[in-house]
Amino acid sequence: MPEVLELKPLKNKTLKLILIESEFPIDWWFDVPKNFKESLFWNLLLISKEYLQLIDSLIEKYKPDIALEERPNFKEEGNNLNDPLKKLFQMRKVPFKFADISLNAELYLSSALEEHRTMIINLEKKINEIVNKKGIIPLNDDIFQRIVLWKEYLQQDYDAQEDEIRYKVREAWMMMKILKFAKKVEGNKVKAIFICDVRHFNGFEKLSEELGIELERVKVKRTIKTEEVQEVFEKGLEVNF
């Protein structure tokens, strides 16, 4: 049976939610852009040892009962055996899960935008056909201008609807996953760590107020020592196999 979005306060339990900013932005789309699919960084699941040390120190500080991470497009629930964060929580004996919108809901919402996607693609093809045929961009052609404007209007509308799902809808689904996970914890006081993109912090603050959840934020300060970067280039970078 498909999972249904339902947000209700926990019964006979209190939840303290510690939001931790992810080391890098966690992006999400219905259709992952080609440049991200081909990105080496995207596919290697890179996490710095400093960030892992930070999470380890926060586990020690808060002693969470459960931990969750916002799932980017490229991560699958059952295909993350080498995930450094998952390994860390396992070592610390903290139950860990990914949180995101359900696949059925994602497919349903995506299908509602399919007409937009198809029209945008067709208009892009038409624009390219006209440019290739004329050999220039015909800025003074009324029909060409209309086609370009139609494509831009549709793209803006599509982006706005995708943004609504990317944030407001997904935040509600992720909060539901956190609450469901918290229900399984014994005792009436639960502490949960949730690692997510910082752009979700405001949305989760509003949801927490509505659901009677105590919320704490942890933002990551990023620094890079330029002298270390310079040293790598001066000495030469060697990769051992």
pLDDT per residue as tens digits for the range 202-220: 999 999 999 999 999 999 8
Which pLDDT belongs to residue 237? 47
Q: Is residue 67 included in any domain, yes or no?
A: yes
User: What range defines the domain where residue 209 resides?
Assistant: 26-107+155-235
Q: How many domains does the chain have?
A: 1
Q: Which residue has the tokens 């450094």?
A: 84
Q: Is residue 36 included in any domain, yes or no?
A: yes
Q: Is residue 38 included in any domain, yes or no?
A: yes
Q: Is residue 19 included in any domain, yes or no?
A: no
Rg (CA), the chain: 22
Q: Is residue 60 included in any domain, yes or no?
A: yes
Contacts of 108 (CB under 8 A, 6+ apart): none
Query: pLDDT confidence of 236, banded at 50, 70, 90?
Result: very low
Which pLDDT belongs to residue 241? 34
Query: pLDDT confidence of 230, banded at 50, 70, 90?
Result: low
What is the mean pLDDT of the segment spanning 149-171?
Answer: 95
Residue 173, H or E segment: helix 170-183
CA distance 141 to 58: 60
What is the mean pLDDT of the segment spanning 101-128?
Answer: 92
Q: Is residue 192 included in any domain, yes or no?
A: yes
Q: Is residue 142 included in any domain, yes or no?
A: no
Which pLDDT belongs to residue 15? 97
Supply φ then ψ for residue 29, to 5 degrees.
-145, 165
Which pLDDT belongs to residue 38? 58
Q: Is residue 130 included in any domain, yes or no?
A: no
CA distance 65 to 182: 8
